[in-house]
Amino acid sequence: MSDSNNTTNYVQNIARTIRIFDTTLRDGEQGAYCTMYTSEKIEIAKQLEKINVDVIEAGFAVSSKENFETMQKVSRAVKKPYLCGLARGIKGDIDATYQAYKDYEKRMIHIFVPVSKAIAAKLKKSDDELVRMAAFSVNYAKKYFDTVEFTPEDAARADFEMLEKVCRAVLNEGVSIIDIADTVSCAYPNEFGKLIARTKDFARSINPDVIIGVHCHNDLGLALANSLSAIENGAEQVECTINGIGERAGNCALEQIIAWSIARPDFFTTNANPKEIYKASELVAKATGTRNDFAPVVGKAVFSHKAGIHQHGITNNKNSYEFLDAEKFGRKSELVVGPHSGYHGVMAKASELGFSITKEEAYEVIAQVSELVRKKIQKRFSDDDLIKILQNMRETGFEPV
């Protein structure tokens, strides 16, 4: 752990309060299939306010009229969170962000300028020109925004020397947050953590109050791991999205970060209310038509138990096979019946559905379910399906042998 004890403000002890910067409405919407209507985004923003996220990035004002209007409308629909907007390091982008949020006091702006050769090449600018662009844009944005966040885009692939130059330039212009991005998802936790620690040490030597944020993508499945490594190494703000939606394989999922803070408050905490997460997840799933049933915390399957041994454990003691407490996240833990179920689970499930059955009757249910699967008639069994099986057994006067 290289978490610096010599830094000020936010680092009280090992467990720190991490700021949640939600970008569902900006990076999330940039994901394929994830375009949302303004009305849907306003509903999501209100739910994010109920989760109590620290920042909502509601759009990229200059990118479209719709994004601009969404930002304006979100700024009239919420009160508590900071509202952020994305901008390239150019005047027009900064002006548009200000115009969208000008009546909202807790406004902030998120400026990005590429620092890796791979991405900077598209702008056909030298390193010095990019440094000047970064400094100019932060300086200009400070006229309209007290809080300016700067992302050296693709920091994970940049030369540290270039990253340092850009950071120094924006720090000298009074930037509040430096956000280290694994834009293309190429870092692994250990090296990414080192980059965070090194950047933080450097940045704090210029401004001891600067906040280090982190922005990770999930192309190689490491968005959460890299974000946790960043937190371990001193990051104090995590950018994330509901359901992990976002460019390509998506961003770090907000619900996974919050789940970690609930499961391991000795590591870090947040100001978020986990009970409101599931509702946000459902709103995002509905607006985008995308969802992953096995996604941690919010997936349909993740608090369900189907196999006999697990059902037996759960009916005795929930803690046996369920580490996260479903209810803390506005979920319910469920027993699902299938061919792998055992009599403990089936008896408990039947009782939930209003049937008191014997062990032998439970075995008969499992036998019937297994036959339906074996004969390729049915493979999923809802509560209604089970009620039908149980009623049918009663009507046909099932007598255990």
The footprint of Mn ion (CB under 5 A) covers 27
Q: Considering beta carbons, is residue 182 or 361 the nearer one to Mn ion?
A: 182
CB nearer to Mn ion: pick between 229 and 241? 241
Q: What does the block give as tokens for 65?
A: 């009229």
Cβ-contact 352, 335 below 8 angstroms: yes
Backbone angles phi, psi at 50, to 5 degrees: -65, -35
| 14-44 burial code (b ≥16 CB/10 A, e <16) | eebebbbbbbbbbbbbbbeebebebebbbbb
Q: Name which of 22 and 27 has its Cβ closer to Mn ion.
A: 27
When the beta carbons of 27 and 57 are compared against Mn ion, the nearer one is 27
Q: How far is the CB of 26 from Mn ion (least distance, A)?
A: 9
**Cβ atoms of residues 57 and 26 within 8 Å:** yes
Q: Which helix (H) or strand (E) holds 271?
A: none
Q: How far is the CB of 148 from Mn ion (least distance, A)?
A: 18
Least spacing, CB of residue 56 vs Mn ion, in Å: 16
Q: How far is the CB of 115 from Mn ion (least distance, A)?
A: 14
DSSP state string for 245-312: --STT-B-BHHHHHHHHHH-TTTEE-S--GGGHHHHHHHHHHHHT---TTSTTTSTTTTEE-SHHHHH
The least distance separating Mn ion from the CB of residue 247, rounded to whole angstroms, comes to 5
Which residue, 27 or 49, is less far from Mn ion as judged by CB?
27
Q: Which residue, 244 or 308, is less far from Mn ion as judged by CB? A: 244
In sequence order, the β-bridge partners of residue 251 are 217
How many angstroms separate the CA atoms of 383 and 337, rounded? 9
Residue written as tokens 């057994």? 393
Residue 30 CB, nearest distance to Mn ion (Å)? 7
